[in-house]
A and B are shown apart, each in its own frame.
Chain A
Amino acid sequence: MIPVKRYVVFIIFVVLAIFFQSTSLYDNINVRNAAPDFILIIICITAFLSGPIPGQILGFVTGLVVDILSGGLLGLFAFTYTVIGYGVGLVGQRVLGKSVLITITLLFFVTLIKAAILSMFAALFLKPGYFGYFAGGMVFLEAVMNGLIAPLLFMIINRIQTRVAD
């Protein structure tokens, strides 16, 4: 049986993250032009807790919404978040709940993978200069931020979805 209530929790969180990242409030937490990607973190947590299929489907739909709202290359974020949703879903099931350090490390590397895929396709389809997005130091700063925020969000979402499922 599909745990609809649990999925609703993930959807609500991801919608909130999209709204938050669309406001000027999000600019206030920028450090040297880098800011945590809450959308990515929530997709990772969903994949972590529910496996590769929900992870990649949420990744695809969320990515498509982000693409439409950004007005950029259609399919770019859909592709990136799908790969991440699937990958984290596979790895996550093996390391789930083992330690906070694993969550931090995983999010750190996932952010680097996200930046690598985005800059590769953006450079390929838009302009070669976009490759600098991955080469720039801000990606590492974003990766550190994501890694640090992820355990806290993981704890909150995990607690809520467990309570909702009960």
Chain B
Amino acid sequence: MAKSFRYRDIVILAILLFISFTMMGFSQTKITVQFKSVAYAMLFPFQYSGAKSITLVKDFFASIRNNRYLKQELVTTKGLLEEYKRTQHEFEEIKRENERLRSLIGIQSELEYETVIAEVVAKSPQNLYKTIIVNRGKESGIERWMPVVAYQDGVKCVVGKVIDVQAFSSRIQPLIDQSNYIGAMLKESRYSGLLVGQSPVSEQCLLQYLDRRATIEYGDIVVTSGMGGIFPKGILIGEVVSVSKKTYGIFQESFVQPKVDLGRLEEVYIITKRVAEDYFSDFTGER
């Protein structure tokens, strides 16, 4: 009896492992990707409501704790608002002057894209992947490969790109993910390279293929180069934290600490910049 029971255990184990392994093998095929999408669309309402209710409990306690700081912040904010009003006026003047000078020397204004604000509703339940789920999808005009940015400490910085879109939700692959590549460059020296995520091994990114002649220093600012086809040029990525210059080869590389803090990300801005799907079919760089 005990022997047959053990036999049954092993048969069930073998079946389950076979199914899992087969799914892994076919994970990148169209039918499996579609299955994942359909299954995720079914699970999303549960994940959304579950994660939302846990966040609500957290926010409730946080709001009680933060209440005493509100009055103090209100006074500070009023002061800042006055200052901003003055600055806004000056800014408008400078902007007009800038536009006029640009048109005089024949440079077109940088293209500005519209953004869709989205709320972070959930994230991957495992540390192996760092994907983020937001509450905007096809109904808001979101498409695959759209770039995502966030404002943290008053600075616009890169978060990642949209990799999967459902009707009312999208999945974002953050820049720290190993599968994420972004065309990047050093803000000061303008040398460009390819930024690759390192997660789950590290929260830092690796800036590869930098010209050996570039002088890179700790703290150098890294921005998007616009060459990858997804991100517009000039968005802040992070700061150089270490440089590795080997005695051979024509390139050097450096580690970059991303500016965005994914742990305290609540809202993101999806830039509605369309990237043609066939763009990736014969291009193996940023994707």
Contacts and interface: CB of A to CB of B under 8 A. Distances in A.
B131 A71 contact: yes
A86 B263 contact: no
Interface string B153-166: 00000000001100
B264 interface: yes
Contacts of B164: 71
Contacts of A56: 9, 12-13, 16
Contacts of A26: 123, 125
Interface stretch (B46-54, B67-75, B99-107, B232-240): B46-54
Interface in B1-56: 8-9, 12-13, 16-17, 19-25, 27, 32, 35-36, 39-40, 43, 47, 50-51, 53-55
Contacts, number: 166
Given A69-B40, A74-B27, A23 B51 contact: yes
Interface in A1-43: 15, 18-28, 30, 33-35, 37, 39
Contacts of B35: 74
Nearest to B28: A125
A70 B24 contact: no
B49 to A, nearest CB: 9
Interface string B98-136: 000000000000000000000010111111110101000
Nearest to A86: B13
B126 A37 contact: yes
Interface residues of B, number: 53
B129 A33 contact: no
Nearest to A21: B125
B24 A79 contact: yes
B126 A25 contact: no
Contact of B179 (A20, A28, A53, A126): A126
B208 interface: no
B128 A30 contact: no
A16 to B, nearest CB: 8
B285 interface: no
Interface stretch (A97-105, A128-136, A146-154, A158-166): A128-136
B17 A73 contact: no
A28 B61 CA distance: 15
A66 B122 CA distance: 13
A19 B47 contact: yes
B81 interface: no
A19 B50 contact: yes
